[in-house]
Structure 1
Amino acid sequence: DGRLYAINPENGFFGVAPGTNVKSNFNALESTKKNTIFTNVCLNLDNNTVWWEGLDKNPPKNALNWKGEPWDYTKYDKNNKVATSGAHPNSRFTAPAKNCPCISDEFDKGQGVPISAIIFGGRRAKCAPLVYQSKDWVNGVFVGSTMASETTAAAAGAVGVVRRDPMAMLPFCGYNMGDYFAHWLEMGEKLGDKAPKIFNVNWFRTDDEGNFIWPGFGDNCRVLNWIIDRCEGKADATETAIGYVPKPEDIDLTDLDMDIETLKSILKVDKDVWEKEAAEIEEHYKKFGDKLPDALRQQLETLKENLAKL
């Protein structure tokens, strides 16, 4: 029917354990109740169960830390997590998808489901807004080709360094990424008006003390609901230099400890921050040389022009 369809080739979930609990991600926690592999977590020797920071407020008294050493929870220092935590900050669980209480009936059928939206994402403290929609397919490919995250405990080396990983595909793409971008552009031409809408999310905006502003986890559904409304033509948006951001009143804040002004702050597109970003994208694009599609060079020039008008 001319639309893109998707299947999930994975058999399960691979998630970061610390911070996962009944409130933050109920279904993920339920998925780990049986047939699950845990790595680098804390082991409670009294009942042979696993534990990690953020699971609950009851750290085990008789336990081994992620290094297999006797662990004293009273010595925990959040400024030195790797050395003092029970579970490593990047400890993981690997659980079968069929354990998940809300798994779709379509999951294992192999027919696939039509794609309405493609969502890119990155971990940026001050740059990308909570969510924005690309202006069109080509602009969406530009967004994906410039994807970046600030390094965390999951990556070797310094924390907080911006690393570019286009479409999160660098470890998996077996040929030149410039050609890969060209294939995305070609697919957009084939799809025409049936192309999925492209969005970018950033759950990781922080305040000046380094605390996450958006609650994340299950509350990300509030953003996903806006994305669905955009796909169905039910929600408006504000055009910015980088794409379309939600009108603050269109993100449901019911029962959330956040006011509309705080929400506005993480939907903001800051000119100075984005001009620095554009300069960094220019450096990033140099890696692809002649393989970089002209359409993406033009997207970068358009971004600079849009920012200059702010």
Structure 2
Amino acid sequence: MLIMGVTRPNGKEHFIAAAFPSACGKTNLAMLEPTLPGWKVRCVGDDIAWMKFGEDGRLYAINPEAGFFGVAPGTSNKTNPMAVGTFQKNSIFTNVAETSEGRYYWEGLEDEIKDKNVEITDWLGNPWKLGDATPAAHPNSRFAAPAKQCPIIHPDWESNSGVPIEAIIFGGRRPEGVPLVFETLGWHHGIFTGACLKSETTAAAEHKGKNVMHDPMAMRPFMGYNFGKYLDHWISLEKAPHKVPKIYHVNWFRKSKEGKFLWPGYGDNIRVIDWIIRRLDGEEGIGMDTAVGVVPSRGSINLDGLSDINWDELMSLPADYWKQDAKEVRKFLEDQVGSDLPNEIREQLEAQEKRIEAL
């Protein structure tokens, strides 16, 4: 989980944790440069959150890591200038290409190469030039850099007490069917949503090809014990005096029928964070109940300055898609968790199936 501090134009700061599978944008969100005026984001951590409840009942998170270990391809001054600023010194690069000038190179940096005739050696040690069919850097090549070098590192990033988490976000690469954002219907439904998390595979996963696979809680590669007991643990946290965060799901990666992304992402994701924070504040009239949760009502997300946003397609829940998804989710939970599935989650499964059937 990433941990981010988000400060609104009114000066109030909120802390949010978000869990996405590898190579799905955690670092980009943790170091987001808001496109909306007056907003500020500071990074507490981009990959791991250790959490416990404080004496005041709130959930606190710390970042146990000393640095960032990010996916290199796609990272640039356009997509994540804060990450680029972080690894300008004292950093390690693995399986990237190298220019004859002694600089790193990977896919996504084409526009930052000033001399188009510069000599490049690919990650395998072979001569490479712009336009070659083979990748210059391994798709899962990485940079490792000290967190303290991040230009927007939060002053409390090493605080022993941590920062108070108000919202937990799950998300993954879902090219079809899944809306941009929805708020879950409560703690148990939020756990169920995390348990059903799916994402299109990337180079950071062992599976190849563009398949959508299950990655429950974005923890599938790291699940150290019985998943049913893991869900039991989450369920047990909702007890006095604990104040559990609200849980959301985001999908920056939905595509149109023509295969183009429906949402610009990157710095414009602050628009979704804005909606989430307003929901946390209890603002009325900005949400609409659906079978999978509360989605933004039309006009409730600030789209100023954006063009060609197909709102209906971006927020839609295609009935056929979700009915098939519900069957697949049941099969996954029955096959992978079986009798260890907590009753509370089974109830959420059955309730969501009924809501989807009514679409």
Match of 1:250 in 2: 300
Give, in whole Å, the separation in 1 of the partners of 2:316 and 2:170. 18
**For 1:91-143, what per-residue CA distance to the aligned partner results, in whole angstroms no more than 9, with x for missing partners?**
22122111111111110122111110011111111032111110000100000
Match among 76, 80, 96 for residue 25 of structure 1: 80
The yes-or-no answer on 1:200 pairing with 2:255 is: no
User: Superposed, which structure 2 residues align to 1:109-148 within 5 Å?
Assistant: 109-148=159-198
Between 163-172 and 94-103, the greater mean CA deviation after superposition: 163-172
Match of 1:171 in 2: 221
8 Å CA contact 1:123, 1:150 repeated in 2: yes
8 Å CA contact 2:177, 2:316 repeated in 1: no
Give, in whole Å, the separation in 2 of the partners of 1:136 and 1:299. 10
**For 1:250-282, what per-residue CA distance to the aligned partner results, in whole angstroms no more than 9, with x for missing partners?**
2222333433xx133111111111111111111
Match among 261, 264, 282 for residue 312 of structure 2: 264
Match of 2:8 in 1: none
Give, in whole Å, the separation in 1 of the partners of 2:298 and 2:63. 32
- The DSSP-based 3-state class of the residue aligned with 2:213 is strand
Q: How far 1:147 moved relative to its partner?
A: 0.8
Amino acid at match of 1:280: E
The yes-or-no answer on 1:49 pairing with 2:103 is: yes
- The DSSP-based 3-state class of the residue aligned with 1:189 is coil
8 Å CA contact 1:118, 1:199 repeated in 2: yes
CA RMSD, Structure 1 to Structure 2 (Å): 1.7
**For 1:133-159, what per-residue CA distance to the aligned partner results, in whole angstroms no more than 9, with x for missing partners?**
100001000001111112123223432
Match of 1:183 in 2: 233
Structure 2, gaps ≥5 residues long: 1-55
Give, in whole Å, the separation in 1 of the partners of 2:185 and 2:229. 22
Match of 2:124 in 1: 67
Percent identity between the aligned chains? Answer: 46
Give, in whole Å, the separation in 2 of the partners of 1:210 and 1:299. 33
TM-score, normalising length: structure 1: 0.91
User: Superposed, which structure 2 residues align to 1:283-298 within 5 Å?
Assistant: 283-286=331-334, 287-298=336-347
Distance 1:174 1:230, change over 3 A: same
Between 3-12 and 164-173, the greater mean CA deviation after superposition: 164-173
- The DSSP-based 3-state class of the residue aligned with 1:264 is helix
Distance 1:300 1:198, change over 3 A: same
The yes-or-no answer on 1:7 pairing with 2:62 is: yes
Amino acid at match of 2:316: K
- The DSSP-based 3-state class of the residue aligned with 1:218 is helix
- The DSSP-based 3-state class of the residue aligned with 1:258 is coil
Match of 2:327 in 1: 279
**For 1:27-48, what per-residue CA distance to the aligned partner results, in whole angstroms no more than 9, with x for missing partners?**
1111111112212222001x10
Compare the two structures and name the one with the higher helix fraction.
1
Q: How far 1:60 moved relative to its partner?
A: 5.8
**For 1:2-29, what per-residue CA distance to the aligned partner results, in whole angstroms no more than 9, with x for missing partners?**
1111111122222222222222211111
- The DSSP-based 3-state class of the residue aligned with 1:19 is coil
Give, in whole Å, the separation in 1 of the partners of 2:297 and 2:170. 20
Distance 1:60 1:279, change over 3 A: farther
Runs of 4+ in 1 over 6 A off after TM superposition: none
Amino acid at match of 2:154: S
Give, in whole Å, the separation in 1 of the partners of 2:241 and 2:184. 16
Between 135-144 and 224-233, the greater mean CA deviation after superposition: 224-233
Count of residues paired in the alignment: 299
Match of 1:230 in 2: 279
Match among 93, 98, 103 for residue 148 of structure 2: 98
Q: How far 1:187 moved relative to its partner?
A: 0.6
8 Å CA contact 2:71, 2:142 repeated in 1: yes
- The DSSP-based 3-state class of the residue aligned with 2:125 is coil
Give, in whole Å, the separation in 2 of the partners of 1:221 and 1:60. 38
Amino acid at match of 1:275: K
- The DSSP-based 3-state class of the residue aligned with 2:93 is strand
Between 204-213 and 92-101, the greater mean CA deviation after superposition: 204-213
